[in-house]
Homo-oligomer: A and B are copies of this chain.
């Protein structure tokens, strides 16, 4: 999948070498698995990946940015849902997100990044960039609903996703990720039909 010969110039001016980038991400994942969040530091990742700290910092400006990349890489199972209906897409989106956060360490990783973002401006920047990118990706299923005529043209797909994500964050951050299909159904209905019903 990687071909270092074709590596392109990126914004900062640093060459991201795909192989060492992958090696760093793999090292970061391994450290998270073995030592947990407490053992996760740029220093530990550098040691394990046989990379220099400056190399890591050139690509990931903060521990939070690297954590978010690991978090997102693990999340490759999650795709933008496409069940053919807006209401069931909403349910699928939330069910997948809750499940992902509950199983394994993804929920704990994301919670720790959010916590760090409340005191560390670099972490806030990394988190904000990450969520804005995710919102615009996930908004795809609302755009599809618009194309099908299931959602009005004046609706903002990004705002719709932000509402869903905000709801999910609140559940995560207050440890309320229990499955409640009936509740998610009602929520999806409230969002797609609106409060007027």
> A interface vs B, CB < 8 Å?
86, 111-112, 114-119, 124, 127-128, 131, 142, 145, 150-156, 159-160, 162-163, 165-171, 173-176, 183, 186-187, 189-197
Known: A112-B118, A127-B174. Is A156-B186 also a contact (CB below 8 A)?
A: yes
Sorted from nearest, which 8 A-B pairs have the closest CB atoms? A194-B194, A152-B197, A166-B166, A115-B118, A166-B170, A166-B167, A115-B115, A128-B174
Known: A142-B195, A194-B191, A196-B150. Is A159-B183 also a contact (CB below 8 A)?
A: yes
In the assembled complex, the CB of A115 is this many whole angstroms from the nearest CB of chain B, namely 4
In the assembled complex, the CB of A67 is this many whole angstroms from the nearest CB of chain B, namely 13
Contact A190 B156 (CB under 8 A): yes
Residue in contact with A190 in the complex, picked from B160, B165, B174, CB distance below 8 Å: B160
List residues of chain B with CB within 8 A of the CB of A156: 183, 186-187, 190
Residue in contact with A169 in the complex, picked from B116, B159, B166, B190, CB distance below 8 Å: B166
A-B contacts, 22 of them at CB < 8 A, read A86-B195, A111-B118, A114-B115, A115-B115, A124-B174, A131-B170, A151-B197, A155-B190, A155-B195, A156-B187, A163-B190, A163-B191, A166-B167, A166-B170, A166-B171, A169-B169, A169-B170, A191-B194, A191-B195, A192-B195, A193-B196, A194-B195
